Amino acid sequence: MSQSGLPHEQPHDQGQPPGVSPDPGPPDRRSPDLGSPDPGSPHRESPAGTAGAEGPPVERRRLSIPSGRLIVLSGPSGVGKDTVLEELFRLAPWLNYSVSYTTRPPRPGEVDGVDYSFVDEATFQAMRERHDFLEYAQVHGQWKGTAKKLVRASLERGEDIVLKIDVQGAAWIRPRVRGAIYIFLLPPSPEELRRRLTERATESANSLELRWENARTELAEQDLYDYRVVNDDVQRATRDILEIIERDRPRMGHQ
């Protein structure tokens, strides 16, 4: 499958499914930890183990999970993440999904609590101050965040859970949660991505340009992911992602 026109193009190995970039090596598949984010980032929550005026540092809580896995899916706006995930959950209903919180208004057809949990700025910032988020960031001028509680509960049950998050969130989680699988969804070409963004007609002209500029930045992050899948056909891209998830499971059993 061609990745022509995209940065950091790499041909897939013989034996790899079409559209899936070769695995650069066996990533660390030890049990995941869920620690509290540091205060150093302006878009992340403060750690439970940070010393403050109220007393000495508190030991950071960590969660070791024998079998549940965090599956992180990222990709630029307009690449088709929601469509692929809808098909993925149809094929693999055993997968859980972490519904992100966002301060942006819902688009036509979006359902609160299904596509996103839509909240206002005050509610989001209150959740941030309570350390409710595993990660959060400002994306396209709006806040988005992943609730820690749902992720923790799924992993404690030994269940796999999918996170659809931006590259900022993935960068935050990557050094802090062991055992996660990172998948980047690519368009067939930058021109096709631009066409998809324009034709969905859900953004103002200014918002469209912002998403296009952000997409170029996000595409430059693709090499940081374990796997890259080209979405030139929804069914094939979904099967490729499901194969990655299934193929990765035996590694966990040998840890």
- Average pLDDT on 53-71 reads 55
Distance (Å, whole) CA 108 – CA 225: 31
Cβ proximity of 224 and 17 under 8 Å: no
Q: Is residue 134 part of a domain?
A: yes
In a domain, 1, yes or no: no
What tokens does 70 get?
A: 């965090």
8, part of any domain: no
54 in any annotated domain? no
Give per-residue pLDDT as tens, 67-87. 789 999 999 988 999 999 999
pLDDT mean over 28-43: 44
- Decide if 25 is inside a domain: no
Q: Which pLDDT does position 34 carry in this prediction?
A: 61
Task: Read off the pLDDT band of 50 (50, 70, 90).
Answer: very low
Q: Is the pTM of this model over 0.75?
A: no
pLDDT tens track for 197-228: 878 766 667 777 877 888 888 999 999 999 99
Q: Two tokens at 200?
A: 């969905």
Residue 222 in domain:
yes
Has residue 248 been placed in a domain? yes
- Both tokens assigned to 212: 């296009």
CA dihedral 229, 230, 236, 242 (to 10 degrees): 10
Q: Residue 202 is part of a domain; what is its CATH number?
A: 3.40.50.300
Pick the range with the lowest mean pLDDT from 109-118, 172-181, 186-195, 245-254: 245-254
Grade residue 25 by pLDDT with cuts at 50, 70 and 90.
very low
pLDDT higher for 10 or 131?
131
In this prediction, residues 87-108 reach a mean pLDDT of 95
Report DSSP letters for 77-142, one per residue: TTS-HHHHHHHHHHH-TT-EEEPPEESSPPPTT--BTTTBEE--HHHHHHHHHTT-EEEEEEETTE
Average pLDDT, the chain: 77
**pLDDT interval class at 140 (50, 70, 90):** confident
- pLDDT value at residue 155: 92
For the cut 50, the answer to whether the pLDDT of residue 106 exceeds it is: yes
Examine residue 188 and state whether it is found in any structural domain, yes or no.
yes
Backbone dihedral angles phi then psi of residue 87, each to the nearest 5 degrees:
-70, -35
User: Does residue 161 have a pLDDT over 70?
Assistant: yes
Q: Would strands 133-139 and 96-98 be described as parallel, antiparallel, or unpaired? A: unpaired
How many folded domains does the chain comprise? 1
DSSP the chain: ---TTSTT--PPPTTSPTTBPPP-S----SPP---PPPSSSTTSPPPTT--BTTBSPPPPP----SS--EEEEE--TTS-HHHHHHHHHHH-TT-EEEPPEESSPPPTT--BTTTBEE--HHHHHHHHHTT-EEEEEEETTEEEEEEHHHHHHHHHTT--EEEE--HHHHHHHTTTSTT-EEEEEE-S-HHHHHHHHHHT--S-HHHHHHHHHHHHHHHTTGGGSSEEEE-SSHHHHHHHHHHHHHHHHHHHHT-
Q: Which domain holds residue 141?
A: 70-253
